[in-house]
Chains A and B, each alone.
Chain A
Amino acid sequence: MGSRSEILAAIRHAADRGTRKGPVRTEPLIAGMDPRDAARRWREAEAGRASARDALADAFARECQALSVKVHWVRSHEAAADLLGSIILDRGIQKILHWRTPLLDRLGIPELIGRMGIEAMESREAGSDALNKRFAPADAQLGITEADYGLADSGTLVIRHGPERDRTASVLPPVHVAVLEKDRILAGLDTLIIRLRLDLAAGTSPDRCITLVSGPSKTADIGISLVLGIHGPGEVHVILLDLP
């Protein structure tokens, strides 16, 4: 405990030497948004979303395009499955990782896999320490996940990870396909923070990891020349579910 107390003592000593700029702080240590404020703003955001669904989705799609993310608009679960099928077929993909979730089940992913005769592994199996996996996760050519939200002003996918929602599927394979429901597109980061504030206030345990994905993996470290797909996926698709 020596270093801990030394460091804290040194910090206190610095404060005592009057290094504070301005008046002594009397407000509470943690002054995040008031949950009631947050609730009101979330409701306003939802109302705004309801009336501006198309505008938000359009903005989201525009930002995605600027990031080289391909957005596919579909109006039914069947159309979504067909689209996914064509992405897989066009690239000659044989091995995929996928989440197993109610939404992806509604899309008929398991049936699609069967029909196409490709090898698929639930990505939670991929992440496990099991020895006899169907194939090496590193050999997967495509990963399918959901996105919990989209952020319209930056073309961002918000992915909350958890037991059936691993991280591997969206980062290890070279192609990532995310299924996003159109009315889950938020205006931007501030709205997401409001959501997180509400979850915190409700006492829900926080997600162990939330990933914000804005476009394909990229680097310009060699010769200041932009290259996609250095470590994460070089190709990102969003299947935007616009159900009537």
Chain B
Amino acid sequence: MDIRCEQFRESSRKALSDKHLQAAMATLEKLLTLGRRMGFAGLEDAESLRDRANDIKNRSLDRLGDYLERLEERVTRLGGTVHWARTASEAREIICRLAADRGVRTVVKGKSMVSEEISLNDALKEGGVEVFETDLGEFIIQLAGEPPSHLVGPAIHKTVEQVSRLFSEKFGVRRMEHPGEMTLFARRALRQRFLEADMGVTGVNFAVAETGTVILFENEGNIRLSTTLPRVHVALMGIEKVIPTMEDAAVLMKLLARSCTGQKLPTYVSMINGPRGLEESDGAGEFHLVILDNGRTRILEQPDLRETLYCIRCGACLNACPVYLKAGGHAYGWVYSGPIGAILTPQLVDRKQASVLPFASTLCGACRDVCPVKINIPRVLLALRRRYAEDPDWEDASPLMEKGLLALYARITENRRLYDAVSWAARVVQRPLTRNDRFVPAVRTLAEKTGRPEMRPLASKRFSRLWRERGKSGGCDG
């Protein structure tokens, strides 16, 4: 997928004036946060479950190599094949070669962010393979040629009317009014695809090292169909998806759906142990697990960034984030959006391109409060900001003047007397330029022209002075 992170400001501005998007985000936020709260209310030990989940992820990463080897051994013993891909291009190559070798002409896909990360669809298409996204949201954005806007609902940025028009244009059918009709239409349109497909490609929610089990979550049924009907199943996973045991999986399973939509479990959980058995009449005859690095080992190396890999892709942080809920998913410019996108993308793609993302946050911590695996996202955001400011390998194309001004600001605020002096001087200097606590029109025009329309003068009275004055007259109430 194309990287457009550097357009964050522009995209988010557009998003702010997109009435439908704002309404959709507001609805999503209400539904999913309520759902999450209700889902967690039913858990008697939610806090300790989150602690256990954090520990499971930590333990898994501590001995990641061992767990991946064990996973490989188990999957192989079950009759599956394990492939290792260092880079996105290698992963594409592996899957395309597999498709070519097995005479695959059509592929059906379940929703998989990692497959978008490696831009798999385009590669398969170049090899002459037809690729059908089968998750309804993904199906819609595939038709529209757009990137996903939300982890759970990739197409929520589209109105019902827009989807209706899209179906009508692409399939030559009459315009439909209701989501029910359109959903039924999509079901019919995709049924034949499932029946004829040669290969199903999915992601992986959890890979259990002890047993070689791949666990897949979904609500629609497209993943079940993609792993039942075609003769080949390819499951693509980042290295961080492996966990030690089924008991560990149960902890994470209890948290994932609750954090995502408030459901106790998604409609379907598939626990797959290799290809189908000899006597079975359905299920893929071939099972391939592609284990992907693509920069994750580098994340693993950094003690202060490592927890980025704990993420189980629930989307709770998106639903809690005041920035994401206004800016929308497209603004983040890549596969992963919201708070997790802000910390993951800069570590996986070109650092300069993604440099705005760690700064697109108020550090309010709402994400940290809802994360089922207790990733301290604000802490990671600050660590990334520090790198962009100080680490020569990360240094972003910040103008020297901005760096200089920030250093000066830091110096001033560290020293009380200096701060008071500068503060007083600034107020003296700005007085002729301000009226009623706003800049005079001439200055305001200049501010707009230089792209800083929100600039305000310093308040005529400092808060500390107001506080002292109010205190003398008996203080304030409330």
Judge whether A197 and B187 touch: CB under 8 Å.
Answer: no
Give A141 Cβ to nearest chain B Cβ, in Å.
Answer: 13
Tell me, yes or no, whether A231 is within 8 Å of chain B by CB: yes
Q: Do B280 and A224 have beta carbons less than 8 Å apart?
A: no
Contacts of A166 in B (CB 8 A): 280-283
**CB-CB < 8 A to B118: which residues of A?**
none
Interface string of B279-306 (1 = CB under 8 A from A): 1111100000001010001101111001
A211, B221: Cα distance in complex, Å: 11
| A189: Cβ under 8 A from any B Cβ | yes
B239–A211 contact, CB under 8 A? no
- For B302, the chain A residues whose CB sits under 8 A away are 19
Q: Roughly how many angstroms separate A125 CA and B282 CA in the complex, as a whole number?
A: 10
- In the assembled complex, the Cα of A197 lies from the Cα of B140 at a distance in Å of 41
Number of A-B contacts (CB under 8 A): 247
Q: A138-B191, A193-B247 are in contact. Are A3 and B63 (CB under 8 A)?
A: no
Annotate B358-391 by CB proximity to A: 1 below 8 A, 0 otherwise: 0000000000000000000000000000000000
Residue B76 is within 8 A (CB to CB) of chain A in the complex: no
Which residues from B are CB-within-8-Å of A218?
Answer: 219-220, 267
- A79 interfacial by beta-carbon distance below 8 Å: no
Q: For the complex, is B437 an interface residue (Cβ under 8 Å from A)?
A: no
Contact B301–A19 (Cβ < 8 Å): yes
- A213: CB under 8 A from chain B? yes
**Roughly how many angstroms separate A101 CA and B228 CA in the complex, as a whole number?**
20
Contact B65 A163 (CB under 8 A): no
Q: Mark A160-171, 1 if CB is under 8 A from B, else 0.
A: 011100111001
- Asked whether B137 is an interface residue with its Cβ less than 8 Å from the other chain, the reply is yes
Determine whether A114 belongs to the interface, using a CB cutoff of 8 Å to chain B. Answer: no
Stretch at the interface among B197-205, B258-266, B344-352, B418-426: B258-266
- What 0/1 pattern do residues 243 to 281 of B give for CB contact below 8 A with A? 011110110011000000001111111111111110111
| Interface contact A8-B281, CB-CB below 8 Å | no
- Tell me the complex Cα distance, A207–B273, Å: 7
> What is the bound-complex CA distance between A29 and B243, given in angstroms?
11
B84 contacts which chain A residues (CB < 8 A)?
3-4, 7
B59–A214 CB distance below 8 A: no
A212 and B275 contact, Cβ closer than 8 Å, known pairs A10-B297, A190-B250 = no
Q: Mark A65-81, 1 if CB is under 8 A from B, else 0.
A: 00000000000000000
The answer to the question of B27 belonging to the interface, with a C-beta cut-off of 8 Å to chain A, is yes
Rounded to whole Å, the gap between the CB of B201 and the closest CB of chain A is: 16
Our pick among A30, A154, A221 for the contact of B156 (Cβ within 8 Å) is A221
Q: For residue B28, which residues in chain A have a CB less than 8 angstroms away from its CB?
A: 224
Asked if A55 lies at the interface with its beta carbon under 8 angstroms from chain B, I say no
CB pair A231–B221 under 8 Å, yes or no, is yes
Interface hits, B165-193 → A, CB 8 Å: 179-180, 182-184, 186-187, 190-192
Say whether B246 contacts A193, CB under 8 Å. yes
The stretch of B207-215, B328-336, B394-402, B405-413 that contacts the partner chain:
B207-215
Q: Which residues of B contact A222 (CB under 8 A)?
A: 136, 140, 155, 160, 163, 179, 182-183
Whether B224 pairs with A171 at a CB distance below 8 angstroms is: yes
Q: Are A168 and B209 in contact (CB under 8 A)?
A: no
In chain B, positions 57-101 with a C-beta closer than 8 Å to chain A are 58-59, 62-70, 78, 84-86, 90
New contact pairs (16) apart from A32-B247, A127-B280, A166-B280, CB-CB < 8 Å: A3-B84, A3-B86, A8-B68, A10-B297, A11-B300, A19-B306, A22-B58, A138-B191, A167-B228, A189-B250, A211-B268, A213-B267, A219-B136, A219-B219, A221-B155, A224-B24
Can you sample 9 A-B contacts with CB below 8 Å? A29-B67, A32-B244, A125-B281, A189-B250, A189-B265, A206-B78, A223-B179, A224-B31, A231-B225
Binding site for B on A (CB under 8 A): 3-4, 6-8, 10-15, 17-22, 25, 29-33, 63, 123-128, 138, 153-154, 156, 161-163, 166-168, 171-172, 189-190, 193, 196-197, 200, 206-225, 227, 229-233
